[in-house]
Amino acid sequence: MRVTLQVWRQANTDARGEFKTYQVDDIKEDMSFLEMLDVLNERLTIQGEEPITFDSDCREGICGTCGVMVNGQAHGPEAATATCQLHMRSFQDGDTITVEPWRAGAFPVLKDLMVDRAAFDEIIASGGFISVPTGSAPDANLIPVPKSVAEAAMDAAACIGCAACVAACPNSAANLFTAAKVAQLNMLPQGQPERWDRVLNMVETMESYFGSCTNHGECEKACPKSISIDFIAIMNRDYVKAKFKNRRLVSQQG
């Protein structure tokens, strides 16, 4: 198959970017979207042109490194699919495909399709640690965890931090990412000692970088792991409780 790509090219953060058009021939339907970009980059290199810069690592939908806007959709047209798992059979022969980086103020473009997602690292770091004994692994049944709670925590932990939720959100909010990272710890017994400080610190760090959530729901639709926006409600509840607890503590000390 043959496709026409309109790819965003930008030399660095401060440079002015633009779309450039490329024709890519002899593409097999079973190729992944990133493999198709690899083919294009090989041809550009042979022609003495600068290859297109994009993020990728595991290419198995696990690491969250990849992620671009494909025809205006985060990760492309397939639901619950990361860009590295998107295959060219999702497109038609002769299609024109627009490829651009995540668009958010907190994600400056480093080069071409690669953005700086360090703001996510700041949110994670602000969550701190978990107070659990180190050493030999404890018995699996030492701490009872209800099955429903364990499953919900695992659902939250499925977040790969790709940032599709931010790219899809009209407000560039990171509430779904932050809520998932908060929930995977706060829902389990091991996460209780730092629960209230964790949600306060992570939410406030998030708000220093990203826009506000107004419940559009685009984040859930764009998420390659189909993480539910219910986690945002849980995070908001915990945040309000944490604020109340801190206020009550301050009044008692006063």
- 10-residue averages of pLDDT along the chain (254 residues): 98 98 96 98 97 97 97 97 98 98 97 98 94 74 90 97 98 98 94 94 98 96 98 97 78 56
- Give alpha helix (H) positions in 6-102: 33-46
**Domain spanning 117-253: CATH superfamily:** Alpha-helical ferredoxin (1.10.1060.10)
3-111 and 117-253 have identical folds: no
pLDDT at 250: 52
Q: Where are the beta strands (DSSP E) in the chain?
A: 3-9, 18-24, 69-70, 73-74, 96-100, 109-111, 114-115
Spell out the domain ranges in the chain.
3-111, 117-253
- CA–CA separation, 229 and 244 (whole Å): 23
Q: pTM for the full model? A: 0.93
- CA–CA separation, 8 and 68 (whole Å): 10
- CA–CA separation, 99 and 84 (whole Å): 14
CATH 3.90.850.10 fits 3-111, yes or no: no
**Cβ-contact 104, 172 below 8 angstroms:** yes
How many CA atoms are closer than 13 Å to the CA of 74, on its beta-carbon side? 24
pLDDT at 252: 59
Phi, psi of 47 (to 5 degrees): -80, 0
CA end-to-end distance (rounded Å), the chain? 72
How many CA atoms are closer than 13 Å to the CA of 84, on its beta-carbon side? 16
